[in-house]
Chain A
């Protein structure tokens, strides 16, 4: 039925099977849109946030997907600026994942602010001292860059490409890709950093506060570091999942291994810096405010296990797997490492977002527990359905993987 739209020389499932698959995801997405409308209509009382937890599941989701989406800019930087040729095989897909992550972050942010119609005030009345201002500007600009990087791929659809205008446009975009990759890298460095800076500057919130360099608290650099280490692992993870679902090899194993090795080295560096940061925080920053390290953790939900899970299980372990050649060459170990690292970065963002607010600053206050409402869960989880829809459409109709044909020669 849609044969003419499918790239030449590749195998895709029947239209019937594809649309049934899509119907499933669109149903989930429909439920999320309905929930979002309910929230916009009734207000943020539909969430479980309150005056202690001004930030919750949505900000965690935002920061999580932005960190995971860092694979796009960092792979672009490695491919176009450092010219690591193996990564050409998955740069398109990395851009699509980045596009999904950033567009969903922007959508969730719109839902998260109490006055969505005033969202544009961020550009109109910017407070140059606020890290959030930098985030708002850089994320929007970088999303534009991602769109510019995604568009040429769309133009390469067999039918669209037949149009001479689309053809020329696509060609010109491709020529400029290195420039966009460089701009993307610059913007990403800043907003990934500013997201970390948002917490580090909270000098009256001892759980999050960090000293730093010039106007940037250490969290600024830690967030960049964690994003560039984990972003690529997420790109690998999603590629592996797609290969599993489509039962095809879409990217040469060599490309995944190269990216995994780079991510592994970075993750090792990050884990060391993060441990040093935690040590300094526990021994200098907290005592100066009359607080102890033990007081920063509480009960089951905010227990010390979070720290071990984040740095140990989801930091040290994946880092070791990824730098060990024998393990990263094994698909199962690679998937495990990438999944752990991705969970780790989301956990890190959760801890900075929620635990910062849960920790009682007054000596006469107590810990409060936050658990998202179903409305927050549904809208946050919608990112998965949204991602599945975009990836499915792109995979079916666009030449996302340049080596797919060579890796899957037609059966005689």
Chain B
């Protein structure tokens, strides 16, 4: 629960996703799967049990052809900043809000798999491991050594590639620096996006790209009325896309997933 832990820190990491640039190619999802050692089952057709820390939603403006417009909304964990829903409910403190970085992380070896956090998160950013992880023969050699795989029966979610922050800090320390430069720590999805729709960085550094982008007139967040204060922002010049991000009384729910 962040408001209880507000400490003087120079870092608070966040993400900005420009929806007008996103083509829905899914490179972010794939890079995330690979970076974070996800296994892939032979049959992943049940999308309600398929793990995708970075999931791409497709929305439309609800108009018939030829006025139909389509957009894609990549959705990582929002790293909610206010009374983080998942953190406050976890009975065993297996999910944690780091007051120094604002990153919400998951302790896999602590999680008992009660799934209360899954119910608390309105963004569907949390995934339960319904099966034991299995990799095809030889594929374990490709696993990322900086990221622990998860066992059956625990919940996992996007960590803003927390291990990359550790690495970047280690490097800075070796070079005799305390602070990171903008762009030194970025998530795998931000790195992989071919259209550079995803920008990641320290929101508390006024010179960082994210700090500037979140001030853009087209910036909005998902489900803002709930008051979770996501640290993931979206940009779009299209008003229908911005409106798709939250419920509004009297507005017909037209944006539907295809």
Binding site for B on A (CB under 8 A): 43-45, 49-55, 112-115, 118-119, 121-122, 124-127, 129-133, 136, 198, 201-206, 287-292, 295, 356-357, 361-366, 368
Q: Confirm or deny: B178 has a beta carbon within 8 angstroms of a beta carbon on chain A.
A: no
Tell me if B89 and A201 are in contact (CB < 8 A): yes
Q: What is the bound-complex CA distance between A202 and B257, given in angstroms? A: 25
Given the interface contacts A289-B225, A290-B247, A364-B73, does A43 sit within 8 Å of B131 by beta carbon? yes
Tell me if A114 and B152 are in contact (CB < 8 A): yes
Q: Which residues of A contact B92 (CB under 8 A)?
A: 118, 121-122, 124-127, 133
| Contact pick for B223, options A44, A130, A136, A204, CB 8 Å | A204
Tell me if A290 and B246 are in contact (CB < 8 A): yes
Binding site for A on B (CB under 8 A): 1, 46, 48-49, 57, 59, 73, 80, 83, 85, 88-94, 110-116, 118-124, 126-132, 151-155, 222-223, 225-228, 244-249, 253, 255-257
| Contact pick for A204, options B85, B127, B245, B246, CB 8 Å | B85
Q: Which residues of B contact A49 (CB under 8 A)?
A: 115
| Contact pick for B111, options A53, A115, A356, CB 8 Å | A115
Given the interface contacts A52-B124, A118-B112, A288-B225, does A363 sit within 8 Å of B89 by beta carbon? no
Given the interface contacts A43-B152, A115-B153, A126-B92, does A290 sit within 8 Å of B121 by beta carbon? no
Tell me if B153 and A44 are in contact (CB < 8 A): yes
Tell me if B89 and A130 are in contact (CB < 8 A): yes
Q: What is the bound-complex CA distance between A285 and B154, given in angstroms? A: 32
Give the number of residue pairs across the A-B interface with Cβ within 8 Å.
171
Q: What DSSP secondary structure best describes chain B's contact surface?
A: loop
Given the interface contacts A43-B152, A115-B153, does A51 sit within 8 Å of B249 by beta carbon? no
Tell me if A127 and B85 are in contact (CB < 8 A): no
Q: What is the bound-complex CA distance between A133 and B90, given in angstroms? A: 8
Q: What is the bound-complex CA distance between A49 and B126, given in angstroms? A: 14
Tell me if A365 and B257 are in contact (CB < 8 A): yes
Q: Which residues of A contact B253 (CB under 8 A)?
A: 295, 363
Q: What is the bound-complex CA distance between A53 and B93, given in angstroms? A: 21
Q: What is the bound-complex CA distance between A199 and B102, given in angstroms? A: 26
Q: Which residues of B contact A130 (CB under 8 A)?
A: 88-91, 116
